[in-house]
């Protein structure tokens, strides 16, 4: 019989091509065609097959032939049949992923080039288990996103949006959001600006890329000796060589800036040094601004979690000391969600046009509708309420971490101020790597402090664990802390 189409769209939802060309009876040919359709995925598990009469009419074969084929395939496990549910494709386990060719060759030869039989008795390598608890830094509690309030703002913003908001985007960002940010940053962070000096971006990394395109940061830029390697690599790929500034409990030693030849920009995290956790001392804030003024230089202020200070009111931004020498960078990545991809740059007036030239004539990164929603969320007070609620939640998390360590590992000190979404646990020298291995065995995902150290830093390395306490769900946080304590190195015993 020639190929036939099963044109039972009302039942299958699509046409099904069956090849009934096999030798033998029509029943055998139909069974073979159905097996092949299931095997290659054209008939997915759960798909309902046509009734006997419909399929028989489409294929031009006897109804009993279809009934017998269905019955045998049910007996073989290819199909299932229930009263009132019809005949369906049976659930089947997913096939194993294909083995790459180079791994097949290795498996055929065995370990070390010996035949596979020579490796009998050896255990195959195991893949790393999925972490039970996620204590990585920089991630807000995803379960706390204010869905209802955000949806209400989205509806209001969509109704009120002017028609031009649905056209090509302004590279500055929506004026509604820039006005809302100017007011919010003034009262919440002490930033001195106006909407004309704010440029919306998709986050801190996007801002760095744009600034690198203006050549403002080249050829050398000062950064703190501990920070994100991703940011350093991003700058390096743009031709910017980063020079590390030493740190202590009072933040970066900004008085060292004057001794750095060829440096005309410095990237700082003044409110809460990332990741070690100290604030920049007032005298060092003033020293950074004085250096920028005296050397026609620029300070980049990364205010990544400035709203989250728990032991006192948040310290205002350094930008307030000199808006023409400090470029302020912020985003909602920590306060709301990194999924929104919304950030902002508060620029010195003389840099606005240069930045917009680097960004281009149209907005290509951030959604105008998300910008309008955030503007309404800020102006309606929803953002302030959310930040205050999360400030209480994260403070409870940090307090619980500190209390648990005091009880179960009193020899481990939490460094830095009470702020942000992470804490650094100071470890005895030489114990960081072993602590990370022990944490992995406990099913913990977290980072070591050494991962953040600048490769050219000359100060003594610090051993520590960077613990993000915002990510785990409420119900699993005590279990995560218990596993963390089991992974920590033991305290010294008195002789």
pLDDT at 274: 96
* Type and span of the H or E element at 243: strand 241-245
Give me the percent of the chain exceeding a pLDDT of 70.
Answer: 87
Distance (Å, rounded) from C-alpha 381 to C-alpha 156? Answer: 14
∠ CA 334-337-338, nearest 5°, is: 85
The secondary structure of residue 350, as a DSSP letter, is G
413-415 vs 263-268, strand pairing mode = unpaired
Domains of the chain: 4-89 (1.10.10.10), 133-141+388-487 (3.90.1150.10), 145-384 (3.40.640.10)
Distance (Å, rounded) from C-alpha 264 to C-alpha 146? Answer: 41
Per-residue pLDDT, averaged over 207-225, amounts to: 91
Instruction: Please give the C-alpha separations between residue 445 and each of 123, 142, 449, in angstroms, as whole numbers.
Output: 25, 17, 14
388 — phi, psi (to 5°)? -65, -40
For residue 231, pLDDT over 60 is answered with yes
Among 175-189, 357-371, 377-391, which is the least confidently predicted range?
357-371
For residue 119, pLDDT over 50 is answered with no
For residue 95, pLDDT over 70 is answered with no
The secondary structure of residue 280, as a DSSP letter, is P
Distance (Å, rounded) from C-alpha 461 to C-alpha 278? Answer: 17
pLDDT at 14: 42
* Residue 284: pLDDT band with limits 50, 70, 90: very high
Structure tokens given for 357? 């030239």
What confidence tens digit (pLDDT) does each residue in 399-435 have?
A: 999 999 999 999 999 999 999 999 999 999 999 999 9
Give alpha helix (H) positions in 413-455.
Answer: 432-441
Closest CA to 317 of 189, 186, 420: 189
Contact 336, 140 (CB under 8 A): yes
């Amino acid at each position: 019989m020639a190929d036939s189409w099963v044109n039972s769209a009302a039942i299958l939802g699509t046409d099904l091509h069956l090849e009934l060309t096999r030798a033998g009876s029509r029943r055998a040919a139909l069974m073979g065609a159905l097996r092949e359709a299931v095997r290659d995925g054209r008939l997915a598990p759960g798909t309902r097959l046509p009734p006997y009469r419909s399929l028989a009419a489409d294929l031009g074969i006897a109804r009993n032939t279809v009934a017998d084929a269905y019955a045998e395939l049910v007996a073989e496990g290819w199909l299932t049949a229930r009263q009132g549910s019809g005949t369906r494709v049976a659930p089947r386990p997913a096939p194993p992923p294909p083995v790459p060719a180079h791994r097949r060759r290795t498996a055929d030869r065995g370990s070390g080039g010996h035949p596979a039989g020579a490796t009998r008795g050896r255990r195959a390598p195991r893949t790393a288990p999925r972490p039970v608890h996620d204590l990585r830094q920089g991630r807000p509690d995803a379960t706390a996103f204010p869905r209802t309030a955000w949806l209400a703002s989205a509806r209001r913003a969509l109704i009120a949006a002017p028609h031009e908001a649905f056209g090509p985007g302004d590279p500055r960002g929506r004026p509604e959001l820039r006005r809302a940010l100017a007011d919010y940053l003034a009262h919440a962070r002490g930033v001195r600006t106006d909407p004309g000096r704010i440029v919306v971006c998709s986050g801190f990394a996007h801002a760095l890329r744009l600034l690198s395109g203006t050549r403002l940061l080249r050829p050398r830029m000062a950064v703190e000796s501990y920070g994100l390697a991703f940011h350093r690599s991003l700058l390096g790929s743009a031709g910017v060589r980063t020079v590390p500034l030493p740190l202590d409990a009072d933040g970066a030693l900004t008085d060292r800036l004057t001794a750095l030849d060829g440096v005309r920009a410095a990237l700082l995290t003044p409110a809460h040094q990332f990741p070690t956790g100290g604030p920049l001392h007032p005298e060092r804030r003033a020293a950074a601004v004085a250096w920028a003024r005296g050397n026609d230089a620029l300070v980049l202020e990364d205010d990544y979690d400035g709203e989250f200070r728990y032991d006192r009111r948040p310290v205002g931004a350094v930008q307030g000391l000199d808006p023409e020498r400090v470029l302020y960078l912020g985003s909602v990545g920590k306060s709301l969600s990194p999924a929104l991809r919304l950030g902002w740059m508060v620029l010195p007036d003389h840099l606005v046009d240069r930045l917009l030239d680097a960004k281009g004539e149209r907005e290509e990164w951030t959604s105008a509708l998300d910008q309008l929603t955030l503007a309404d969320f800020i102006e309606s007070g929803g953002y302030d309420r959310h930040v205050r609620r999360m400030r209480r939640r994260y403070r409870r998390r940090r307090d619980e971490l500190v209390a648990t360590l005091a009880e179960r590992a009193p020899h481990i000190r939490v460094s830095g101020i009470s702020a942000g979404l992470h804490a650094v646990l100071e470890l005895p020298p030489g114990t960081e790597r072993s602590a990370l291995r022990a944490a992995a065995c406990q099913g913990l995902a977290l980072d070591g402090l050494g991962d953040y150290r600048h490769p050219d830093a000359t100060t003594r390395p610090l051993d520590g664990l960077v613990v993000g306490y915002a990510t785990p769900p409420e119900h699993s946080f005590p279990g995560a802390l218990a596993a963390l304590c089991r992974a920590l190195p033991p305290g010294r015993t008195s002789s």
